[in-house]
Amino acid sequence: MTSLSNNVNYECLGDNELAVVAKQDKNALVSLVTRMSGFVEVKARAMAVSFDEADDLFQEGLMGLLDAVKAYRIEKGVSFRTFANVCVRNKMLDVCLKRGSFLSLEDVEKLPQDESLVQSPESIYVQKEQQQLTFEKVSKELSDAEWNVLQLYLRGFSYSHIASELKTSVKAADNAMQRVRRKLRLVLRTNKQ
């Protein structure tokens, strides 16, 4: 489980820079997912008709967030938060459409667009503590092999390319990514409770 630097203070990085670093640095990825999980949860609750559906949409939104990290290109001039907002929203809408729980255009327009809430110093401190706990949990949960698969996935490689790079089977790469998803969901779900 490698990272670019163990001494980097990710809280000082903006979303754009953190998203770029997160493609190669596990600590940065955990910090970014933790930082943005609140806005994913707000979107999930706004779109859901039940608690179970909100939980499912939250998990799908996290997958949309990982996809956003994977696809984000800072040189395009779009902020990561805006890009992630679109990716998360589209992932959740896709799930709703597949389930047949259609939203009207008016409902879609009313969905939260951004987490631009002013935070108190106390809430910032609590958030930092939660980020540290989340990082520690994820660090313990992901194996080196899982981290390597995630790192290549975030760089945009297909499962077949990941398998080739890591000299393993496509199925093993896919299984490792599924474990990563499960572990991230579990860690983030237990942190919400």
pLDDT tens by residue, 36-58 = 888 888 888 887 776 677 888 88
Separation of alpha carbons 91 and 152, rounded Å: 21
Alpha helices (H) in 102-169, listed in sequence order: 105-110, 121-141, 144-154, 159-166
Separation of alpha carbons 18 and 131, rounded Å: 14
Of residues 160 and 95, the one with the higher pLDDT is: 160
pLDDT at 175: 92
Q: CB under 8 Å to 39, separation ≥6 — which residues?
A: 85, 88, 112, 114, 115
- Burial of 42 from C-beta contacts in 10 A (0-12 / 13-18 / 19+): middle
Q: CB under 8 Å to 58, separation ≥6 — which residues?
A: 40, 41, 44
- Burial of 19 from C-beta contacts in 10 A (0-12 / 13-18 / 19+): buried
Residue 44 lies in a domain: yes
Separation of alpha carbons 85 and 40, rounded Å: 8
Structural domains counted in the chain: 1
The 10s digit of each residue's pLDDT in 143-184 is 888 888 887 887 778 889 999 999 999 999 999 988 888 887
Residue 5 lies in a domain: no
Residue 43 lies in a domain: yes
Share of the chain above pLDDT 70, in %: 75
Residue 4 lies in a domain: no
Residue 1 lies in a domain: no
**Whole domain around residue 42: which residue ranges?**
10-192
Length of the chain: 193
Residue 135 lies in a domain: yes
Residue 74 lies in a domain: yes
121 pLDDT higher than 80: no
The rounded Cα 91 to chain-centroid distance in angstroms is 12
End-to-end CA distance of the chain: give it in Å, rounded: 27
Residue 2 lies in a domain: no
